[in-house]
Structure 1
């Protein structure tokens, strides 16, 4: 019986250690901002929420020397996409002109799309835990 308890304790400890190793931080950074107006909004999505629901993680950053950066902490391993908006007027959302074109710069991880909404297939990346850096160009 004591052996069973010891084996069970080792198994639980191993699972906990394994889970702890499969989380970490994702740093997302924009490096090509041409204006220091407003702030930059960052969103980290999984496939089921991508561009449809509130993101799994979010953050915002001020702009310094054409750069803005956030760190998403305690992110479990998985497949994600980062969406970034340069919110020049600070209203917390993307603004559009009368023809429906965005008036503020935006971008995603792994994609430099020109027209239309971002696609999950182009923006996604695999994350195995630990530390990861993602650079987004607007």
Structure 2
């Protein structure tokens, strides 16, 4: 009976340390750095939006967690976001060549400007689902690369 109690106490101590360790890490404010490749030119700006859930991904401006547009000064272009909690996110990016803050498309709905998503999912006839573009922020610094596509 005493031996079983010792094993139980040891397991509780180990589990307690694991839970404490995870919760301490989950309370950080991390930085996400996005390296954007494949820009066709340096005209305009690149806009990146971070989503914390599938609701509204990839284009509902009201569901964006953070958004940032940056003038293209160098390639690849680097955009950074601060104060992200540990969790699963997805990023949508577009090359706003005419600086109107909109991904312009033709009459068939095909984008006329470059675009890309975190995890670089294959794009054919539709935008990716959140799960196809999702990535994990689990430390103070997360770096991802996005390859822009043009049609």
TM-score after normalising by structure 2: 0.73
CA distance in 2, matches of 1:61, 1:86: 10
Match of 1:104 in 2: 113
CA distance in 2, matches of 1:32, 1:20: 33
Matches of 1:112 and 1:62 in 2, distance apart? 26
Number of residues of Structure 1 aligned to a counterpart in Structure 2: 124
Q: 1:36 to 1:20 in 2, by over 3 A?
A: same
Is 1:112–1:137's contact at 8 Å kept on the other side of the alignment?
no
What is the 5 A alignment of 1:32-43?
32-43=38-49
Give the alignment's TM-score, normalised by structure 1: 0.79
2:96 pairs with one of 75, 83, 87: 87
Could you list the per-position Cα deviations for residues 96-116 of structure 1 after superposition, in whole angstroms to 9, with x for gaps in the alignment? 112221111101001232331
Q: Which has the larger radius of gyration?
A: 2
CA displacement at 1:71 relative to structure 2: 0.8
> Which 10-residue stretch deviates more, 106-115 or 62-71?
62-71
Q: 2: CA distance between counterparts of 1:118 and 1:69?
A: 22
Alignment of 1:57-136 (within 5 A): 57-110=66-119, 111-136=121-146
1:30 aligned to which of 28, 31, 36: 36
Q: CA RMSD in A?
A: 2.1
* Inter-partner Cα distance in structure 2 for 1:135 and 1:88: 20
